[in-house]
C-alpha cells in the first residue's frame, strides 16, 4: 500500500456535537466531505482544510425532524439531500444553508414513505428519487423545490422487489 491513512472525523464530531453510528457520506465539487450520524441524528461537513462543522441536527428544517439520517446525495449545484430513516422524510439543504423538507411519511398519499434508504437526483430534470425501504416503493418528487417553497409535487411510485445501486457521489454504508 502506498500513501498514508488519516482519521478525518471521530466520535466527538466537531467537539461540541457527537458523531454516533456514521452511516453515509458524500463529497461536493469543492472537496467538502459530508458525514451523517444515524444515532446522533446529525450531518457534519469536513472542509478540505479539516474544519468540522455540524450542519444538520435532529431539528431538521426547524419544523420537521431529521431522525436517523442514512443516505446523502450531492447534486451538480452542491445541494445536499438527506433521508431520515426514523423520521420518514427527506430534506434538501441549499449551498447557502436553507433546509427544506421535500417529502414526508405520507409519501404520495396512497403509499407511505417508511424507512427511506436512499435518495438520488436527476440533475437534468431536477427530480429527486427516494427509495422507501419498508413500503418497498420508489417515489419521485418532481421539480425539487427551491428553498422558498415548502414541498415539491410528488408523482407516481414504482413498487420494487430489490434494492437499486447508488448513483454517483453518493454512498450509504
Q: Is residue 13 part of a domain?
A: no
Q: Is residue 65 part of a domain?
A: yes
Mean pLDDT of the chain: 85
Q: Is residue 76 part of a domain?
A: yes
Confidence band for 135, pLDDT divided at 50, 70 and 90: confident
E-assigned strands of the chain? 22-27, 33-37, 42-46, 52-56, 69-74, 80-84, 89-93, 99-103, 116-122, 127-132, 137-142, 153-159, 171-172
The CATH number linked to 76 is 2.120.10.30
Q: Is residue 89 part of a domain?
A: yes
Q: Is residue 103 part of a domain?
A: yes
- pLDDT digit string (tens) for 83-124? 999 999 999 999 999 999 999 999 999 999 999 999 999 888
Q: Is residue 14 part of a domain?
A: no
- Beta strand 171-172 with 22-27 is antiparallel
Name the grid cell of 123.
440533475
Q: Is residue 46 part of a domain?
A: yes
What residue numbers bound the domain in which 101 lies? 22-162
pTM: 0.82
State how far the alpha carbon of 40 is from the alpha carbons of 17, 70, 115, 169, in Å.
8, 11, 17, 23
Distance (Å, rounded) from C-alpha 155 to C-alpha 139?
7
> DSSP class of residue 3?
S
- pLDDT digit string (tens) for 3-16? 899 999 999 999 99
Q: Is residue 47 part of a domain?
A: yes
Query: Into how many domains does the chain fold?
Result: 1
Given a cut of 80, whether residue 173 has pLDDT beyond it is no
Amino acid at each position: 500500500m502506498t500513501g498514508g491513512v488519516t482519521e478525518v472525523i471521530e466520535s466527538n464530531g466537531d467537539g461540541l456535537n457527537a458523531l454516533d453510528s456514521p452511516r453515509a457520506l458524500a463529497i461536493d465539487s469543492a472537496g467538502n466531505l459530508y458525514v451523517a450520524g444515524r444515532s446522533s441524528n446529525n450531518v457534519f461537513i469536513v472542509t478540505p482544510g479539516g474544519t468540522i462543522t455540524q450542519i444538520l441536527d435532529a431539528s431538521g428544517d426547524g419544523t420537521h425532524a431529521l431522525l436517523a439520517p442514512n443516505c446523502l446525495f450531492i447534486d451538480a449545484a452542491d445541494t445536499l439531500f438527506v433521508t431520515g430513516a426514523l423520521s420518514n422524510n427527506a430534506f434538501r439543504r441549499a449551498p447557502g444553508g436553507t433546509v427544506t423538507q421535500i417529502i414526508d411519511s405520507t409519501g404520495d398519499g396512497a403509499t407511505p414513505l417508511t424507512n427511506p434508504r436512499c435518495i438520488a437526483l436527476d440533475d437534468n430534470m431536477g427530480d429527486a428519487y427516494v427509495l422507501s425501504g419498508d413500503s418497498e416503493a420508489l417515489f419521485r418528487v418532481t421539480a425539487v423545490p427551491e428553498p422558498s417553497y415548502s414541498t415539491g409535487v410528488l408523482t407516481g411510485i414504482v413498487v420494487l422487489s430489490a434494492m437499486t445501486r447508488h448513483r454517483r457521489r453518493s454512498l450509504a454504508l
